[in-house]
Structure 1
Amino acid sequence: MEKEEEEEEEEIEKVDNAFDADEATKCLVWIREITGEDIPVESVMGDKQKVSEFFYETLKDGFLLCRLANCIVPEEMQINMKSLTFKKSSNEAFESARERARLEIFCEKMMEFGVPETLTFQIDSLYERTNLVQAYCAIRNFGMEAESRPSFTGERFWPKKAEENRRTFTEEQLRASAGVINLQMGTNKGASQSGMTFGKQRMITEK
């Protein structure tokens, strides 16, 4: 039992160490710009632990994330935030269930909008704070999907989605390439990384 507890603590520590305060902050800034909600993220900037706590407390009840979704998805996909799920309950058990339900609705809307299920997050990752990295990565993926739409005309906030580079070769070209040895085969040259830039508020309403 003691060994299991130690392993669990080690796992939690690994997740905490992987938390990127800058990336989480960027997500909160983007949410603020899109929704217009007051999110005083500047009050915790510079302190990783405070950013982690602020990120968790700001998003765990699902309200803000669902507002974010409604600012981005088309009208026919809008979340009904007047339903019982979005009414605060004085019963702790009921409220906990509703908070989880809101997070689930947000994840469903991300997938409906085009974000693959593997790029969303598990409810406990945010609600139980077991993997906040997964949560802010999902929000980033949502933003990237939104900015990939033809209707998007604002200033880019997130890096571009990887786009398929479809090429068509003639049969003659394919035969010629069959006898060519890739010069990079067996080497690790040619690798590179690129940075990300911040952007400005915009609204996406078309699919």
Structure 2
Amino acid sequence: MAEYRAGKAGINAEAQARINSKYSDDIAAETLQWIKLLTGEPADTSGNVDNLYNVLRDGTLLCKLVNAIQEGSVKKINQSTMAFKCMENINAFLEAAKKLGVPPQETFQTIDLWERQNLYSVVICLQSLGRKAGNYGKPSIGPKEADKNVRQFTEEQLNAGQHVISLQYGTNKGQQTGISFGGRRQM
């Protein structure tokens, strides 16, 4: 776990400080309150880093969360506190979140949570899952998902675009009319 790791130094410490500076207690608290609304846990919904880490680190609450959104998303939740079992829970949550519609760029690596390296990305993933929960009839958090704006064009409308000359091909209008190669430029 993170307690046995040497501290980061130099450019790595600067990068870690930048990652840690993005974390927001308010957004984390909102996320934990949403998790409590769906699962009934945790008792403490304060958004400080230590609380978020302690509540989520074994992955059991994460698995309960995706099961609350869609029953049977995670078949087996490991109750053991052994490292590889906890990381299996986190991996199972991540796979279920992707199936529920969370984009891969909004997920996190297992190690980000387990070794407390990037809790900001954990909150981002949970916020994204919170937006997707509305699609399954559950309460959602964060900004509303965009509605589809499908447009239908007729064949005639599609063909009309083929007869328009794009300005990327150049134009004979404007200041450069009448200038030919080798000619003098009048001032």
Match of 1:12 in 2: 16
Give the counterpart letter for 1:40 in structure 2.
Answer: D
Match of 2:60 in 1: 63
The 1:171/1:13 distance shift into structure 2, 3 A limit, reads: same
Q: Distance in 2 between matches of 1:108 and 1:122?
A: 11
Give the counterpart letter for 2:141 in structure 1.
Answer: F
Greater length-normalized contact order (CA 8 Å, ≥ 6 residues apart): 1
SS at match of 1:86: coil
CA contact (8 A) 2:127 2:142 kept: yes
Match of 1:86 in 2: 79
How many angstroms does 1:173 deviate by? 4.3
Give the counterpart letter for 2:26 in structure 1.
Answer: D
- Please report the TM-score for the alignment, with normalisation by the length of structure 1: 0.67
> Which segments of 5 or more consecutive residues in structure 2 lack a partner in the other structure?
1-7, 168-187
CA contact (8 A) 1:148 1:161 kept: no
> Does 2:162 correspond to 1:169?
no
Question: Which of the numbers 26, 29, 32 marks the counterpart of 1:28?
Answer: 32
> Which segments of 5 or more consecutive residues in structure 1 lack a partner in the other structure?
46-50, 89-94, 182-207
Match of 1:100 in 2: 87
Structure 1 segment 87-166 matched on structure 2, within 5 A: 87-88=80-81, 95-149=82-136, 152=137, 156-166=140-150
Runs of 4+ in 1 over 6 A off after TM superposition: none
- Please report the TM-score for the alignment, with normalisation by the length of structure 2: 0.73
1:98-135 deviations in Å (ceiling 9; x for gaps): 11111111101111223232221111111112211111
User: Which has the larger Rg?
Assistant: 2
How many angstroms does 1:146 deviate by? 1.7
Name which of structure 1's ranges 12-21 and 158-167 shifts more when overlaid on structure 2.
158-167
CA contact (8 A) 1:66 1:79 kept: no
Match of 2:172 in 1: none
Q: Distance in 2 between matches of 1:156 and 1:124?
A: 26
How many angstroms does 1:165 deviate by? 1.4
Q: Distance in 1 between matches of 2:71 and 2:61?
A: 18
Q: Percent identity?
A: 28
Q: Distance in 2 between matches of 1:60 and 1:68?
A: 14
Indicate the RMSD between aligned Cα atoms, in angstroms: 2.5
